[in-house]
Amino acid sequence: MNQSQGAKAPSVLLVITQDTKEEEARFTRAALESAGVRVVHLDPSVRRTVGGAEISPEDVAQAAGLTIEDVRALGHEGKCQAAMIKGAIAAAHAWDAREPISGILAIGGSMGSALAGALMQSFPYGLPKLIVSTMASGFTKPYMGIKDIAMMNAVTDISGLNTISRDVFRNAARAVAGMALGFDRDAPAEKPLVLITTLGTTEASVRRIRQALESDGCEVMVFHSSGAGGPTLDGLAQAKDVALVLDLSQTEILDHLMGGLADSGPDRGRAALARGIPTILAPGNADFIIAGPIDVARTQFPGRRYHEHNPQLTAVRTTLDDLKVLADHLAANVRAAQGPVQVITPLHGFSSHDSPAGHIMDPSVPPPFAQYLREVMPAHVPVNVVDAHFNDEAFSDAVIAAARALLAQTAACAA
């Protein structure tokens, strides 16, 4: 008996339209089943209903509060797409609640990839997710977002089957089937989870902090705060059982406020606070804004000090006024916090650039910034000022002690 027919065979959600890709859908379904998994075909077609899908176009439209005729009557591909994305997400989660899936495979062009990406981003980390797409050789961020979504280049257009597309679809099916067969959604978290932001310029301190907390029995995930790392941390803070957040690099928030390249939007850093996750804030890398090539940086931020990190990126020295804006923003975020928050700030520099060995050190900034932090932070939020540089052991020791105290309050880590 084919393993896909066994009662315990995991199921894979297959997302592909049959109105334009019927042949490809049949082929991929057969490839998944031959690899030992059951198939739940979600068909978000708009033009016509072919039949045979476990979740039909009518089901998708109904999950969006419409009929398929209503969707077709919209008469605009963007509006139809929006309705079917809404319905596909709702229908997929409704099925998953009844019969849990162990993986998702989607095949499509730009429209199909957009729908699949939105659907996959609504599912948790760890669940296998793969999109075979004509868009996979280009800009993939809109489809992947901050989730663990893999994309595979379709190579040829998804228009019929040929010697290349058969291999691509078969390989994709076997890959997802293999992941689904090994997926365990009920596996408990083995260790309390700690999330940290950093850049290479604060890595010396963060490495000591990570190693200390790992020795305490915590799992520590570190994120590079260069535009995507912070939002990924925020996404995990919303989706997972997180014991502690150490937001030790403020680059993405500072760049949002000042127009730098690592701008991650106005909500960066708020997820953990809103969920009540214990949080420690520190102004790592607050000594610079990330700008483009040196000539662009000089035009955008005239009259500053600059460090040409590489031909594409320039570190632009921040002023005390810049950092007061940062402090005001952080204080506003903290006022909405639903859990304990601490702030720790150094008196002798915020990164390796802001040090005697660096290129844009300004020792006149950290002391008044520390004083301003004390003035603007809510009264219940302690601000610990450390007479050290961010990368000094004395500073990392202060963060470690504060982290252990917060974790002990929640009995998160064993001593």
The closest of 371, 373, 372, 351 to 362, measured between CA atoms, is: 351
Instruction: Catalogue all structural domains in the chain, each as residue range(s) with its CATH number.
Output: 3-181 (3.40.50.12020), 193-409 (3.40.50.12030)
pLDDT for position 188: 64
pLDDT for residue 110: 87
Model confidence pLDDT, tens digit, residues 20-57: 999 999 999 999 999 999 999 999 999 999 999 999 99
Least confident of 55-69, 139-153, 236-250, 299-313: 139-153
pTM exceeding 0.95 = no
CB 409: neighbour CB atoms within 10 A?
Answer: 11
Residue of higher predicted confidence among 359 and 8: 359
Separation between Cα atoms, residue 390 and residue 392, nearest integer Å: 6
Show the tokens assigned to 389.
Answer: 């540089």
Q: How far is CA 186 from CA 42, 94, 281, 345, in A?
A: 24, 18, 32, 40
Per-residue pLDDT of 62-73, as tens digits, reads 999 999 999 999
Q: Which amino acid is at 350?
A: F
The rounded distance, in Å, linking the Cα atoms of 195 and 230 is 10
In DSSP notation, 102-125 reads: S-EEEEESHHHHHHHHHHHHTSPT
Residues 26 and 51 sit within 8 Å (Cβ to Cβ) = no
Contact 156, 132 (CB under 8 A): no
Buried b or exposed e, range 164-202, using 16+ CB within 10 angstroms? ebeebbbebbbbbbebbbebeeeeeeebbbbbbbbbebb
Q: In this predicted structure, which of 174-188, 194-208, 390-404 has the lowest mean pLDDT?
A: 174-188
Q: How many residues does the chain have?
A: 415
d(CA 233, CA 230): 5
DSSP 53-102: -SB-HHHHHHHTTS-HHHHHHT--HHHHHHHHHHHHHHHHHHHHHHS--S
Inter-CA distances, 379 with 131, 174, 324, 342, Å: 49, 57, 18, 11
Backbone angles phi, psi at 84, to 5 degrees: -75, -30
For 191, 210, 214, 342, 396, the CA distances from 219, given in Å and listed in that order, are 5, 9, 6, 21, 18
**Are 115 and 77 a contacting pair, CB within 8 Å?**
no
Higher confidence at residue 396 or residue 145? 396
